[in-house]
Amino acid sequence: MPTLPRRSVLYLPASNARALEKARELEADALIIDLEDAVAPEAKPRAREMATEAIRAGYPGKEVALRVNAADTPWGDADLEAAYRCGPDAIVLPKVETAQEVREVALGIPLWAMIETPRGVLAAHEIAAAPGVAALVMGTSDLVRDLRARPVPGRENLLYALSRVVTCARAHGLEALDGVHLDLEDAEGFERACVQGRDLGFGGKTLIHPRQIETANRVFGVSPEEVAWARRVLEAYRAARAEGKGVAVLDGRLIENLHAAEAERLLELDRVIRERGT
C-alpha cells in the first residue's frame, strides 16, 4: 500500500468560507476542518453546516479530517452526527485522555486522537492501541499551558512528551503529527521546529497558516540527496544478498535489512509525492 504523505496538515476554521474554498488550491497534504477551538460558540451550528458542505464538495488530492468538539460539550454529539453524514477521511478528537473516549466513537471512520494534556501524554500507549485510531496528533499549545511551562525556542520542555507520543504511535503502526508553531513571523524558528519534529520521528507538522506549507513539505519530504542515498543503499544491499551475504558495506557504513527497508520507504514516499506534484 502506498505511503500516504502527511507532511503538511493545515487547520481550517470551519466558519471561514473563504479559507475553506481557497484550501482547494493549496499544496497541503491534508486539511483539518476545525469545529472546535477555531470557532466561537455562537458560530458553531452554522460552522458545522459549512464544514459538512465543504467535505461533501470534496478536496481532490487531499486528505480531509474534521475536528469535532468534545463529547462532553453541547456540540459534540451533533458534530459526530455531521461527520457520519458527510464522511471525512478522518475524525480528529480533541484532548483525548483515555482509551475509553475513543471507544465511544464508533462511526467506522479513522480517528486521529489529539494528545494535548499531561493525562493524554501518560495514556498515549492505551489511546494508540484503541480500535479505530489511525494517528496521534500533538496539541503542544494546550500542553504547555497545562504543564505550567513556558514556550521556549528549542521545545526542550516538551521533549519527553513529544518522544513518548511518537514512540506510542509507532509502536502501534500509527502516524504521528507534530503540534503547531504559533509565531507566523518566526520562519527560522518554524523550520527548526519542523526539523526537530522530523528527527524525533513525526511524519508531518500541523499548521495554522498556508505560508507554512512549503517549509513543512520540504522538511518532511525526501530530499534529492536522500533519494540518491536510498538508491545506493538498495543497490549495495541487493548485491550483497545476491552473493549470499546478509549485510553490505557502503562508504564505510554497515548496511543491513533495516536500512534497506527504510530506503524502500523513502523511495516510495518520494514516488507518491512526485505523483501528487507537490
Spatial contact of 55 and 66, defined as CB atoms under 8 Å apart: yes
Distances (CA, A) of 184 to 25, 46, 87, 191: 21, 28, 32, 11
34 labeled binding residue: no
Cα dihedral sign, 183-179-70-63? positive
Taking the C-alpha atoms of residue 268 and residue 222, their distance in angstroms, rounded to an integer, is: 10
Taking the C-alpha atoms of residue 78 and residue 204, their distance in angstroms, rounded to an integer, is: 30
Q: Residue 61: left if φ>0, alpha if ψ -120 to 50, beta else—which one?
A: left
Please report, as a single letter, which amino acid is at residue 40.
A
116 labeled binding residue: yes
Nearest to 32 by CA among 107, 112, 109: 112
Cα radius of gyration rounded to whole Å, the chain: 20
Spatial contact of 113 and 133, defined as CB atoms under 8 Å apart: yes
Spatial contact of 55 and 33, defined as CB atoms under 8 Å apart: yes
Would you give per-residue pLDDT tens digits along the chain (278 residues)?
346 799 999 999 999 999 999 999 999 999 999 999 999 999 999 999 999 999 999 999 999 999 999 999 999 999 999 999 999 999 999 999 999 999 988 778 999 999 999 999 999 999 999 999 999 999 999 999 999 999 999 999 999 999 999 999 999 999 999 999 999 999 999 999 999 999 999 999 999 999 999 999 999 999 999 999 999 999 999 999 999 999 999 999 999 999 999 999 999 999 999 988 77
18 labeled binding residue: no
Give the residue carrying C-alpha cell 471507544. Answer: 103
pLDDT score, position 106: 72
